[in-house]
Amino acid sequence: MRFGFTLPNNMGVADPDEVAEIAVDCERLGFDSVWVAHHVLNIGYVRERLGERPYHDALTILTWAAAKTSRVELGTSVLVLPYLHPMGLAKQLATIDHLSKGRLLVGVGVGSLPEENAVLGVPYEERGALTDEFLAVLAALWAPGAATVDGEFWSFADVISSPKPHRQPHPPILVGGNRAPALRRAARWQGWHPMRLPPESMAKRLATIDAELEAAGRSRANGYRVHACLDLDLWPEPRERPPRGPMHGTVEQLREAVGRYAEVGVTDLVLSAMSPEALAGGRTRLVEQLERFSAEVMGRP
DSSP output for 246-293: SSBS-HHHHHHHHHHHHHTT--EEEEE--SGGGGTTHHHHHHHHHHHH
Q: Does the pLDDT of residue 239 top 60, yes or no?
A: no
What are the distances in angstroms from CA 100 to CA 1, 96, 104, 143, 281?
23, 6, 7, 20, 30
Closest CA to 196 of 187, 209, 208, 205: 205
Q: Does the pLDDT of residue 236 top 70, yes or no?
A: no
Please state, in angstroms and rounded to a whole number, the distance separating the CA atoms of residues 190 and 171: 9
* Continuous segment of H or E residues that includes residue 92: helix 86-99
> What's the whole-number average pLDDT of the chain?
94
Q: Residue 238's pLDDT band (boundaries 50, 70, 90)?
A: very low
Cβ contact 56:18 at 8 Å: no
- Average pLDDT over every residue of 19-42: 98
Q: What is the pLDDT of residues 12-27, one digit of tens each?
A: 999 999 999 999 999 9
Note the pLDDT of residue 246. 77
Which region, left, alpha or beta, applies to residue 245 given φ > 0 means left and ψ of -120 to 50 means alpha?
left
What is the DSSP code (8-state) at residue 297?
Answer: I
Cβ contact 151:136 at 8 Å: yes
Q: Does the pLDDT of residue 189 top 80, yes or no?
A: yes
- Average pLDDT over every residue of 260-280: 88
Closest CA to 102 of 172, 160, 192: 172
Which region, left, alpha or beta, applies to residue 290 given φ > 0 means left and ψ of -120 to 50 means alpha?
alpha
Instruction: Report the amino acid identity of residue 273.
Output: A
Q: Give 65's contacts (C-beta < 8 A, 6+ positions apart).
A: 7, 20, 23, 34, 36, 74
Q: Does the pLDDT of residue 58 top 60, yes or no?
A: yes
Domains along the chain with CATH numbers: 2-298 (3.20.20.30)
Cβ contact 65:18 at 8 Å: no
Three-state DSSP state, 136: helix
Note the pLDDT of residue 279. 75
Q: What is the pLDDT of residues 271-301, one digit of tens each?
A: 998 776 677 778 888 999 899 999 999 998 7
Half-sphere CA count of 133, side-chain side, radius 13 A: 17
